[in-house]
Amino acid sequence: MTGPLTGFRILDLSAVLSGPLATMWLADQGAEVIKVETAAGDIVRHMGSGKALMSPSFLSANRGKKSIVIDLKQPDGVALLKRLARDVDVMVQNFRPGAVERMGVGYDAIKEVNPKIVYCSISGFGETGPYSHKRVYDPVIQSLCGLADIQRDRDTGRPKMIRTVIPDMTTALTASQAITAALLSRERTGQGQHITLAMIDATLSLIWSEGMAGYTVVGHEDKLPPQLAPDLIYQTTDGYITAGAVSDVEWEGMCRALDREEWLQDERFNTPAGRVRNNTARLKLTAEVIATQSTAHWLKVLDEHAVPCAPVLSRKELLDHEQIVANELIELRDQPGLGRVRQPRPAARFSGTPASIQGDAPMLGEHTREVLLEAGLSEAEIDDHIRAGAVT
């Protein structure tokens, strides 16, 4: 293992995406992550193409981990988990509130065997409140936290979902940052702690600075939220681009690039506040001009005037885009069960302790024996637990 978290060990009881993605990013940064699964495996193993309980989605949230199968419904399974917990730095779980306590592996139980543990509990809505025990998936959070409202169709008023699981991924980012912060605190104080993180909290915190700006000052709530304005996608004669002008310098460049210098004197648009207030009219006028020329023409002219812009790429096109290639972002690897696969390298680059993809996603229970041997069990003891069904 290499990376800034080399030497730290994580016991990951989480499933689906928010927890597994968080711990995978920590694995990329060098942490040893032991994924604890049921005999059926994380449900994401079964979602999509692949074989041997390996799907593209599972790979992309679990690479570089070890897999161990433990039946936490059995007392022997709980005892084995506690034995593993003695020698790790972090434990992560995303069961519904109260579930781990009923199993006997909640924070208080684990703290008894490892007082310095950093224990991260991820839930949909938090530990209390009327929604705390509801089942939750990403669209539920999108609906409750304002994301669907932000995406509301400006013509029909119909709320819309973002077509990727932003709340899950936001929660994963927040969890990985919080775990790292708690480890840093422990290095300085010697004290572990319990991190509780709700998906709705993480997502609303993420969108607040822009999506809730109109509702920040009490008594001055906007009548028409700015998200109902047109988006920044413009159709050209042969495709689509995006282009935006926030500062006065960029707006001047936009007007000159579009050959509409008279807009510089227009009272609706000659200040940043005015451009925001009148953005529907501004973007409509901009779209009418951009529709008259090709994508290549506008990207060239906008670049010449230092206006932020880019082509709107399909997911297939981005794989070979010159900037993605220059960043060496996408790596090709061989993944058992899937074959040749693409994966993004760790986004953050460390000059002294480089992060990297640490290995393949594990087959179900691939490392059960290895992990238990490292925990001090004998081969005979492991065989006994396997026969009893406590591990697989």
Segment 260-300, tens digit of pLDDT: 999 999 999 999 999 988 988 999 999 999 999 999 999 99
Asked whether the predicted pLDDT for residue 321 surpasses 90, the reply is yes
Residue 371 and residue 88 in contact, taking contact as beta carbons nearer than 8 Å? no
C-alpha–C-alpha distance, residues 182 and 196, integer Å: 12
Residue 223 lies in a domain: no
- Cα 83 to Cα 95, 343, 369: the distances in Å are 20, 34, 14
303, 333: one domain: no
Reported as a pLDDT band with limits 50, 70 and 90, residue 24 is very high
200, 271: one domain: no
Taking all residues of the chain, what is their mean pLDDT, rounded to a whole number? 95
C-alpha–C-alpha distance, residues 375 and 26, integer Å: 21
Residue 316 lies in a domain: no
Tell me the percentage of the chain whose pLDDT exceeds 70: 98
Domain of residue 262: give its range: 240-311
380, 278: one domain: no
Reported as a pLDDT band with limits 50, 70 and 90, residue 228 is low
Residue 299 lies in a domain: yes
191, 244: one domain: no
C-alpha–C-alpha distance, residues 264 and 253, integer Å: 10
Asked whether the predicted pLDDT for residue 140 surpasses 60, the reply is yes
293, 341: one domain: no
Residue 212 lies in a domain: no
C-alpha–C-alpha distance, residues 123 and 94, integer Å: 6
298, 360: one domain: no
C-alpha–C-alpha distance, residues 2 and 352, integer Å: 11
pLDDT at position 223, please?
61
283, 358: one domain: no
84, 178: one domain: yes
263, 294: one domain: yes
181, 279: one domain: no
CA 97, distance to chain mean position in Å, is 21
- Cα 97 to Cα 16, 77, 232: the distances in Å are 16, 20, 41
> What's the structural domain count of the chain?
2
pLDDT at position 229, please?
64
pTM equals: 0.94
Asked whether the predicted pLDDT for residue 28 surpasses 90, the reply is yes
Q: Which of 12, 138, 168, 360 is catalytic?
A: 168
In the annotation, is 168 catalytic? yes
Residue 64 lies in a domain: yes
Final residue before a domain boundary, out of 262, 278, 311 = 311
C-alpha–C-alpha distance, residues 278 and 283, integer Å: 9
pLDDT at position 258, please?
98
User: Could you count the other beta carbons within 10 Å of the beta carbon of residue 140?
Assistant: 17
Residue 2 lies in a domain: no
Of 149-153, 248-252, 376-380, the poorest mean pLDDT is in 149-153
Task: Dump pLDDT digits (tens) for 36-75.
Answer: 999 999 999 999 888 889 999 999 999 999 999 999 999 9
Asked whether the predicted pLDDT for residue 351 surpasses 90, the reply is yes
Residue 96 lies in a domain: yes
C-alpha–C-alpha distance, residues 123 and 195, integer Å: 11
Residue 31 contacts by C-beta under 8 Å, 6 or more apart in sequence?
1, 3, 5, 6, 8, 9, 10, 23, 90
Of 97-111, 141-155, 301-315, the poorest mean pLDDT is in 141-155
Residue 344 lies in a domain: yes
User: Could you count the other beta carbons within 10 Å of the beta carbon of residue 291?
Assistant: 11
